[in-house]
């Protein structure tokens, strides 16, 4: 498939009640492994990519390095690739869109794009985030690539008390509508685990809903029944791999590094 065909195939995998499952990867090797396991598409996790290359999360990995990693992943398999692009490395809509254009040039067909103010805390206003999404969509259309913009809200992620997530649902739904109008393709609500709230969001959102399979999250069948269209695993595959590697190394070295 060419890039446009991969992008359209990726879009088609987002089915309400029959979600695409993305076991997030971080380099060409992990991409090849997950592809061989039967994945239908690939997606990076920003935390994992950064950690695997010696950086912290929050756009600390250099942009050009991230673009090259994306290019290597695209070359490693024939599967569609979505890149977790955090805040597009710029708060300015035009510059953010230009940065996303580099990922398209590398062969990516989708991005995660979050509304948190990276490195400063809080979230952008819905209007400002919509303007940033619109700039990315306009750029992608000029390049004739039906880019999947997975618009992420950090409302739930920034509220650790899950008992207060119900109070954020109306604001999240309002953002889903604003982001859809601006040209987003999907709506990502990481850290939301209450199945009733997930069901309400899926029913109200004009966009396919993505949730993260984090500890405490409902199982895949339950999420599907609630209307979820996409399930991703975020940093947890990388963390599990590192825990295994550390355990194996400790067997070799006798735990001397503890």
Q: How does pLDDT run across 83-126, given as a tens digit for each residue? A: 999 999 999 999 999 999 999 999 999 999 999 999 999 999 99
CB neighbour class for 170 (10 Å; exposed up to 12, middle 13-18, buried from 19): exposed
Q: Which residue has the tokens 């109070």?
A: 167
Domains, the chain, ordered by start: 3-253 (3.20.20.60)
Residue 256 has pLDDT above 90, yes or no: no
Provide the pLDDT for residue 198: 98
Angle, alpha carbons 153-182-180 (nearest 5°): 60
Residue 255 has pLDDT above 80, yes or no: no
- Per-chain mean pLDDT for the chain: 97
pLDDT band at 127 (very low <50, low <70, confident <90, very high): very high
Q: How does pLDDT run across 204-238, given as a tens digit for each residue? A: 999 999 999 999 999 999 999 999 999 999 999 99
Provide the pLDDT for residue 257: 59
Any bridge partners for residue 245, and if so which? Answer: none
Q: Tell me which residue of 81, 109, 108, 107 sits closest to 8, measured CA to CA.
A: 109
Provide the pLDDT for residue 169: 98
pTM given for the model: 0.96
Answer left, alpha or beta for residue 124, where phi above 0 means left and psi between -120 and 50 means alpha. Answer: beta
Separation of first and last alpha carbons in the chain: 48
Residue 193 has pLDDT above 90, yes or no: yes
pLDDT band at 258 (very low <50, low <70, confident <90, very high): low
Q: How does pLDDT run across 37-90, given as a tens digit for each residue? A: 999 999 999 999 999 999 999 999 999 999 999 999 999 999 999 999 999 999
| Dist. CA 177–CA 91, nearest whole Å | 21
Give the three-state DSSP class for 108.
coil
**Average pLDDT, integer, range 14-22:** 97
**Average pLDDT, integer, range 127-146:** 98
| Dist. CA 230–CA 208, nearest whole Å | 7
Which strand ranges, in their side-by-side order, compose the sheet holding 186-188? 20-22, 230-232, 209-212, 186-188, 148-152, 110-114, 81-84, 42-43
Q: Which pair of structure tokens corresponds to residue 14? A: 């987002």
């Amino acid at each position: 498939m060419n890039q446009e065909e991969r992008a359209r195939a990726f879009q088609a995998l987002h089915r309400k009640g029959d979600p695409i499952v993305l076991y997030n990867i971080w380099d060409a090797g992990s991409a090849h492994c997950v592809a061989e396991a039967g994945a239908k598409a690939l997606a990076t996790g920003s935390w994992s990519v950064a950690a695997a290359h010696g950086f912290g999360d929050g756009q600390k990995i250099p942009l050009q390095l991230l673009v090259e990693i994306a290019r290597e992943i695209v070359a490693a398999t024939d599967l569609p690739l979505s890149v977790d692009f955090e805040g597009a490395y710029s708060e300015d809509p035009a510059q953010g869109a230009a940065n996303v254009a580099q990922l398209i040039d590398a062969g990516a067909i989708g991005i995660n794009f979050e509304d948190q103010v990276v490195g400063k805390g809080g979230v952008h206003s819905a209007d400002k985030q919509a303007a940033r999404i619109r700039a990315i969509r306009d750029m992608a259309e000029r390049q004739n690539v039906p880019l999947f913009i997975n618009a992420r809200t950090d409302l739930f992620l920034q509220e650790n008390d899950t008992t207060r997530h119900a109070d954020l649902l109306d604001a999240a739904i309002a953002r889903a509508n604003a982001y859809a109008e601006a040209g987003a393709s999907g709506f990502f609500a990481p850290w939301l685990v209450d199945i009733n709230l997930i069901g309400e969001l899926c029913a109200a959102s004009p966009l396919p809903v993505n949730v993260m399979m984090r500890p405490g999250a409902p199982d895949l069948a339950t999420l599907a029944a609630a209307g979820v269209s996409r399930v991703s695993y975020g940093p947890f595959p990388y963390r599990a791999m590192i825990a295994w590697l550390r355990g194996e190394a400790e067997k070799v070295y006798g735990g001397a590094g503890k």
